[in-house]
Chain A
Amino acid sequence: GQQVMQIPQYQHVQEGEDFTTYCNSSTTLSNIQWYKQRPGGHPVFLIQLVKSGEVKKQKRLTFQFGEAKKNSSLHITATQTTDVGTYFCAARSFKAAGNKLTFGGGTRVLVKP
C-alpha cells in the first residue's frame, strides 16, 4: 500500500533558528495536507496543497509541494516556543480508494529557549 515517510522523526531547534521537515510518498499524490498536534492535544489542520510545485505561506511557515507530487516540505523560520508540537503530513494518492488519507509518522519539534 501507499507509504508516507516523514523525516526527521525528531527535531531539536534553538529558538530563533529555521528548520525544515520533509514528507515523501511512494506514489504520486492528488493532494497533501499538513497538521499540527500540540503536546496533549489533537491534530489540527494547517493547510492543503494540490498543484504541482505549489508553495503556500502562513506567517513563518512555508509549505511546498514537489514538482512530481511525490513529496512535500514544511519550513519554519525564526522558530518560537509556540511552534512546539508534532507536525504530520497526510497524503491522498490518485490510487487511493474512497476518501482515505495516509498519515506520515510525524516530526516532533522541541524548541530550546
Chain B
Amino acid sequence: DQQVKQNSPSLSVQEGRISILNCDYTNSMFDYFLWYKKYPAEGPTFLISISSIKDKNEDGRFTVFLNKSAKHLSLHIVPSQPGDSAVYFCAALSGTGNNRKLIWGLGTSLAVNP
C-alpha cells in the first residue's frame, strides 16, 4: 500500500500563473519530506525539502507547505515558467541516522504553457 500519494497524475497551467502540486502521506512518523523534479531521460533532481517541525519552506519561486494534522503537503510554484514543465515527485524520508531511504509518490506531470 502506498505511503506517499500524489493523486493528480498531471497538471497544466499557464505561464505566469501559480502551480500547486499536492501530496498526501499515511505514516505520521515521517520527519522529512522532499520534492524532486525530473526531466525525461534524466534522474530526479532535488528541488526543496521541509522538516516535519515546520509548516512552510520557501526557496525563490518554490514554496512547500506542510499540514501535519491532515498529513498533506503541497508545492507551490509562482510564477510558473515553461522550463518548469517536468514530473514532480513528492518523497518522504524514512529511517533514522545514516539509515535513510526515500519513499516516493507516483509523480505529477506539470505542463506550463506559454
Pair from one complex: no
